[in-house]
Structure 1
């Protein structure tokens, strides 16, 4: 983002002055945020549809060896490819066209659907649906808070990112060393809380970016990257919540 041109004078022209200019600014902000949410929701929908199709059609068997429970070579590729796309979008957004970012976003959502089809092998459809709708309700409330609150949430950013890193380290340690069910439950609870905080933080950050990109050709890129951030918050919160529900019913 540091490489973007600073369009603040343009944004200020809409934000100050007569009532009509303020109305134009508010309308532009609403349209901008609606675009972010539309992209994010469409990405989640695409992921869900692909996951269900893969699971119900039996194609998930190409990702996991049903006899050993281990991922196949294709399964590893499908699991790691979305991470590569996220890094490519994050570090290459300044040089990419908006259409390229759009294609990568949809490709990412598609691959995530293929990868997440494996959860149908572990959890029941009812459990997945309950976790999804609970996540959707929580996400909506947290994002609304981030959008409307006057409190500056920027101070939470570093703390939450450090929390994500710590979470990844704890997950690796538990997977390969401790293998503790109690620790897994604690990690899952912390995961829900961390990504809940990130949902509010990212929403406020995306909203604040409007002042910098209003009236510029950077808006399309910011919309897509904002949708990607919220998508990741939603999916991670959903997966950690699903693990909590699974541990309680196992």
Structure 2
């Protein structure tokens, strides 16, 4: 298969670290799924992977027993189920799926004892801590990472949904009693980025009043287009719009 591959000898800027290569299609385990990638989202974790900092991802996996000398990144994708392991029963070949970047072991002791899987010691970032991410024709995921793609979403929209969207939703809605509701002012750091953009839109959907905080030089228009109630520029105090609760 074709893949955008990072090798340690190329670590540096993404433009130089990534190269399209032909590599073997990965094999799958009994509870894993091979997905034919239709579209892949881009996240900052593979800028880190390309640079080899703060973690050398190839060396990190090698120290845990991997023999792979390369890294195929990508933590967001949508595609078609191509093959399934012997114990997979939630999806079948031909299903159109969106992939969740949270990669955990469902048989881990803490999960079997009732822990939130996203807090499990077995949790890894698929396509960053694991190999064979979405920047390839085929990717390997655990069965639990697969969610059926809504027919209303095209491939590109679906492929950029769950990494930032899922994280933003959890931050805003699952830390009871600190959940966002109508009228709540919500300060969103990094409002111009993927996670911040998703958080602004979720906050608006819940009737809250998002305040986008952005760094100098970032795209102010992007924050405004996501319907932030107001904008604060970090380091200057300059703001646009009326802050929630201001008189």
TM-score tier after normalising by the smaller chain length:
under 0.3
Bigger proportion of residues as helix: 1
Determine which structure has greater relative contact order: mean sequence separation of CA pairs < 8 Å that are 6+ residues apart, divided by chain length. Answer: 1
Q: TM-score, normalised by structure 2?
A: 0.25
Higher share of residues assigned strand? 2
